[in-house]
């Protein structure tokens, strides 16, 4: 996707060059990069002017996919870790995004390749971040082989018009006012929707409330989703097993598209910091019973409204097609697992770790 010219930080962050087999030494390089961006995002968000009608044309900065993701369909694709930090909001109140549908082969777990459909080359697609009241202008270009569409849960528009399917080689443009705050799913709504979501066509949009939430020190975006595989994806890329999808029997359940992605590359925080998770459950079919082992949520915002927070919550379910915002803090140094407390999902890869303070190791739950 094209990003804000002033705030664009390529998702790859140069991580592609580091390869998939990142060891502890490399982690030390990666983690500050994520934290740096998370902190920068927060700063930029706080400092960004409100109001003003100047258009920021995101297409000025075409997102450059790393070489590893441009490989042919049957060549193994190296995993580029999905940057979990919330990107900054761009300037102005009109945000234009160009998103291109791409058929891709990518990694969904260690040594496991999958051929699917993506918004801009990754599953999930790019994280979009705007303010309540802003206008979001979306252009979807279909660079794939069959019709696709894009459906924003943050929008109040006629879906038969805005969310209609686009033929290969064609594009569609529509705008909506992001009048409802929160974190929302977007996805392809072309039938069968089960197949299009299960094949990788989803992402998250964050709409900051007009009356802001308390300032967070770190903000992370986690999109939960399932993968249903025909084949094991090891000797050749797997494709969707539609029967498994219909029976809701996934092979992998992931945060940000890749099993155990933040187990070997933990998220980080310091004791006492307010850490915010923007969680979307893309499904297509399972819920995420969001829980952090070793702490509680100080606040859960089931809607994005600051005035509607729940307090002192252990676990909160994010339904398929839903989203919620979670604030927590960690009292002491250590390694804290982030899970769906529906533990079958953890067994299939839905696990992240938060490394709090300078502690050794990346032990799992």
Binding positions for Cu ion, rule: CB under 5 A: 148, 188, 190, 196, 201
Q: Which two tokens stand for residue 280?
A: 């979307």
CB of 257 to Cu ion, least distance (A): 16
Closest-approach residue to Cu ion (CB): 188
166: DSSP letter? B
CB of 118 to Cu ion, least distance (A): 10
For Cu ion, the closer CB: 56 or 188: 188
CB of 152 to Cu ion, least distance (A): 9
For Cu ion, the closer CB: 58 or 196: 196
Count of positions (residues) in the chain: 365
Q: Which two tokens stand for residue 300?
A: 């859960």
**CA 285 to CA 228: how far, in whole Å?**
11
Q: Which two tokens stand for residue 234?
A: 């090891």
Cite the DSSP H helix spans in the chain: 24-47, 159-162, 193-198, 242-246, 261-264, 343-347
CB of 190 to Cu ion, least distance (A): 4
**CA 256 to CA 277: how far, in whole Å?**
13
Who contacts 137 (Cβ-Cβ below 8 Å, separation ≥6)? 94, 95, 96, 97, 173, 174, 175
For Cu ion, the closer CB: 201 or 207: 201
For Cu ion, the closer CB: 188 or 356: 188
For Cu ion, the closer CB: 176 or 343: 176
For Cu ion, the closer CB: 105 or 190: 190
CB of 321 to Cu ion, least distance (A): 5
Residue 290 in contact with residue 315, Cβ under 8 Å? yes
CB of 39 to Cu ion, least distance (A): 32
Q: Angle at the Cα of 27 (from 267 to 363), degrees rounded to 5?
A: 65
CB of 228 to Cu ion, least distance (A): 16
Residue 159 in contact with residue 189, Cβ under 8 Å? yes
In sign, the C-alpha dihedral spanning 123, 126, 130, 136 is negative
For Cu ion, the closer CB: 107 or 188: 188
């Amino acid at each position: 996707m094209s990003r804000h010219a002033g705030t664009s930080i390529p998702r790859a962050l140069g991580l592609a060059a580091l390869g998939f087999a990142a060891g502890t030494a490399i982690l030390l390089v990666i983690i500050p990069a994520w934290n740096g961006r998370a902190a920068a995002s927060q700063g930029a968000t706080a400092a960004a002017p409100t109001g003003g009608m100047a258009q920021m044309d995101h297409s000025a900065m075409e997102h450059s996919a790393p070489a590893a993701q441009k490989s042919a369909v049957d060549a193994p694709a190296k995993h580029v870790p999905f940057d979990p930090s919330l990107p900054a909001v761009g300037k102005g109140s009109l945000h234009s995004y160009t998103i291109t549908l791409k058929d891709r082969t990518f990694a969904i777990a260690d040594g496991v390749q999958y051929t699917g459909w993506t918004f801009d080359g990754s599953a999930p697609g790019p994280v979009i971040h705007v303010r309540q009241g802003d206008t979001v202008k979306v252009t979807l270009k279909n660079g794939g082989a069959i019709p696709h569409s894009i459906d924003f849960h943050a929008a109040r528009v006629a879906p038969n018009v805005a969310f209609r399917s686009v033929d290969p080689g064609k594009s569609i443009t529509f705008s909506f006012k992001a009048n409802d705050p929160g974190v929302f799913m977007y996805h392809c709504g072309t039938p069968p929707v089960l197949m299009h979501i299960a094949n990788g066509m989803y992402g998250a949009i964050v709409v900051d409330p007009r009356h802001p939430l308390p300032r967070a020190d770190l903000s992370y975006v986690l999109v939960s989703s399932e993968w249903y595989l025909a084949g094991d994806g090891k000797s050749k890329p797997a494709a969707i097993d539609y029967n498994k999808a219909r029976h809701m029997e996934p092979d992998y359940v992931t945060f940000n598209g890749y099993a155990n992605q933040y187990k070997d590359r933990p998220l980080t925080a310091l004791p006492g910091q307010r850490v915010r998770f923007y969680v979307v459950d893309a499904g297509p079919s399972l819920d995420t019973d969001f829980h952090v082992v070793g702490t509680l949520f100080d606040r859960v915002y089931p809607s994005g409204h600051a005035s509607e927070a729940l307090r002192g919550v252990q676990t909160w379910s994010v339904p398929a097609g839903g989203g919620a915002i979670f604030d927590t803090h960690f009292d002491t140094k250590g390694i804290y697992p982030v899970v769906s407390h529906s533990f079958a999902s953890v067994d299939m890869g839905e696990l992240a770790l938060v490394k709090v303070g300078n502690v050794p190791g990346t032990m799992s739950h």
